[in-house]
Amino acid sequence: MKSPLTEKTAKVLISILMVSLTSIIVFGGVSYFYFSHDLPSIESLKNYKPPAITKIFSENGELIGEFFMEKREVISLDRLPNHLIQAFVAGEDARFFQHKGLDYWAILRALFKNIFSGEIIQGGSTITQQVVKSLLLTPEKSFSRKIREAILSFKIEKYLSKEEILHLYLNQIYLGHGAYGVAVASENYFGKDVQELNLAESALLAGLPQAPSKYSPHQHPEQARKRQIYILNRMVEEGYTSHSESLRALQTPLKVKGKQSLSFEKAPHFVEHVRRYIEERYGKDALYKGGLQVHTTIDLYAQNIAQEALESGLKEIENRQKYRPGEMASILEGALFCFELESGYVRAMVGGRDFRKSQFNRVTQARRQSGSAFKPIIFASALDKGYTPASIVVDAPIVFEFGNKKWRPKNFEDKFLGPTTLRNALTHSMNVVTVKIARDIGIDYIRDYARNLGISSSLHDNLAMALGSSGLSLYELTKAYAVFGNQGKKFTPLFIKKILDRDGNLLEEHLPLNHPGELNHVDQVISTQTAFLITHLLESAVRSGTGWRAKALGRPVAAKTGTTDQFFDAWFVGYTPELLTGVWVGFDEERSLGENETGARAASPIWVAFMSRALKDKDIKAFPIPEGIEFMKIDPKTGQMGSDKGGVLECFKEGTGPTPKTSTRLVATTDFFKFDMNLSSKTK
């Protein structure tokens, strides 16, 4: 028989139990509602697109630049070795495939192991919890965040498959030294694609998540080794590998990659130019987080020999002028820009000697006086104003007066040749003849003509402009020369072939100019005949004029030197039927290069050194002669028809050559003019 006390006690205990359970249920429900009512949505995890690396590639697919906020490359699970996945599961969450988001046994096990070892060697968080912590919640450490983390972990386990959770984890996790995800970590630590990892390497990577800096093989190789052993033992315990396989892995030597030089250094000014373009067109988020794949036109062989040619040429000038470091206000600088005329592809861009010291791009950003390198634009203008290569201009002293001052333009060597042909004037870079031609055809006409060729910089509103007094960039000057080399067609040099988004979708594509489906804007801005005549005149500048060094190529070359007043700037711009290359040499802070450091002496050797290697083993081509060109024998002294015996062959636009009835054209024979300007006197 039960005692009344016992029965009463049982009822009390049951009541207490019921109240407690009800309270727990109510408290749990209220807590769940409280902590889950404003939880972040987990739907975004289905379309996982974390910040990824934008990669820049050379023409042959070599990596030359990377831009990122988090250095990460998203990779699918089917591209990962099984032992890599197993190593992370064994080390971080052995019951991952059994639990529903939380592993209570793992929490207790980790607690005891950490207590007995005296240090944290094992964590209690599941892989699902780590995904929640990384992608959905802030990193704060609080009781409320842990509850929210647990709730979200349960939800994710219902919403995503285990494989999808692993995909998120292995791509999102931070593994030290700026590496996010296993793909980048594999490259950072071992210099290999993640698919090529062996068991030893996988175990080492799997040991990093708990404390990437503490277990870094770069900084703490002994700690990294201990962690690797722990991971391999866990893999054996979980049946992922055998004891003998783990021993072989431990005996496998690890070739941890040291700190590597950045691929960015292969073509730094080029890559920076591309970076600016992407940021301007697509925005910062796309550049630094979008994972774009940018395939460019740069030829790394051409880029390398361009850098070598420029550095060698600048050192030669320094040795010749005996510069002393203490006397130099700034380092001697230079720039080289090269692109193909047929395709429009940029093959080399060197914007300065050392990108690490100066990111200023002297190809696109510097504006310097171009000197006589500007003269082909004047002479092309004259050809379209009725001049011919045989037109006679008097090379004689001339004086311009502005206020109380006078300007007497001089030729470089202070010599005057009297009546001379247009060809001879450009071949020998005669300043006085150039000024007289410019005065005859008009400054406004020349300015508009230059704009039409692609010159965008402001040009001086006086005759000094004819001698290259205006500041131009090497980029726009070479682009203008390209019109002459490309049969009168203007185009924008192509830096990029195509850009793909992170999923491989095409965002933009630039086909070569000679491709039938080419989308780059090409305009016929001058006639093919004018373009050919200027090219033919510039060939004379190489054969017997200031560009003589380019004869070393042993092939047709059209080129022009440029030297500014007091030898501040030296230029050489020239082209073959295949390539156009421009070179500039000078100081960033205007100062003289030294006596007689002309374009022919300072810049053209760099051009020749580069072009001779860039064109090595390529077939020799002649500049194509378009329809509408005729050749005639003329007297080089008078420009009139010459005899078969004593004349020289000259080219003309059809119908413009001399006839027995035409008279010699004399231009600007007056020797004194009043003119309002501020001019420099000597260029070459």
List, by residue number, the catalytic residues: 92, 372
> Cα-flanking dihedrals φ and ψ of residue 612, to 5°?
-65, -35
Distance (Å, whole) CA 71 – CA 84? 20
Beta strands in 345-388 (DSSP E): 346-350, 368-369
What is the residue whose two structure tokens read 């004891």? 243
- Kindly report the CA angle at 233 between 231 and 234, in degrees rounded to 5? 65
End-to-end Cα separation, the chain, in angstroms:
127
Beta strands in 37-184 (DSSP E): 54-57, 63-67, 71-72, 179-180
Distance (Å, whole) CA 92 – CA 124? 8
What is the residue whose two structure tokens read 């700190």? 259
Contact 302, 343 (CB under 8 A): no
Contact 371, 562 (CB under 8 A): yes
What is the residue whose two structure tokens read 């042993």? 554
Alpha-carbon torsion angle 15, 17, 23, 25, nearest 10: -120
Would you call 647 helix, strand, or coil by DSSP? coil
Distance (Å, whole) CA 647 – CA 658? 13
Strand order in the sheet with 579-587: 346-350, 332-340, 579-587, 569-575, 558-563
CA-based Rg of the chain, rounded to a whole angstrom? 37
Distance (Å, whole) CA 137 – CA 129? 10
Helix axis angle, 243-251 to 199-206, nearest 10°? 90
Q: Long-range CB contacts (< 8 A, 24+ apart) of 212-221?
A: 212/174, 212/175, 212/176, 212/177, 213/176, 215/176, 216/176, 216/177, 217/189, 217/254, 217/256, 218/177, 218/189, 218/256, 218/258, 218/259, 221/256
Q: Which residue, among 543, 625, 492, 652, has the nearest Cα to 559 in the 3D structure?
A: 543
Which amino acid type is present at position 653? K
Longest dimension (CA), the chain: 150
Contact 67, 54 (CB under 8 A): yes
Q: Which residue, among 532, 492, 522, has the nearest Cα to 622 in the 3D structure?
A: 532
Contact 398, 435 (CB under 8 A): yes
Q: Which residue, among 293, 247, 320, has the nearest Cα to 602 in the 3D structure?
A: 320
Contact 132, 153 (CB under 8 A): yes
Distance (Å, whole) CA 492 – CA 346? 10
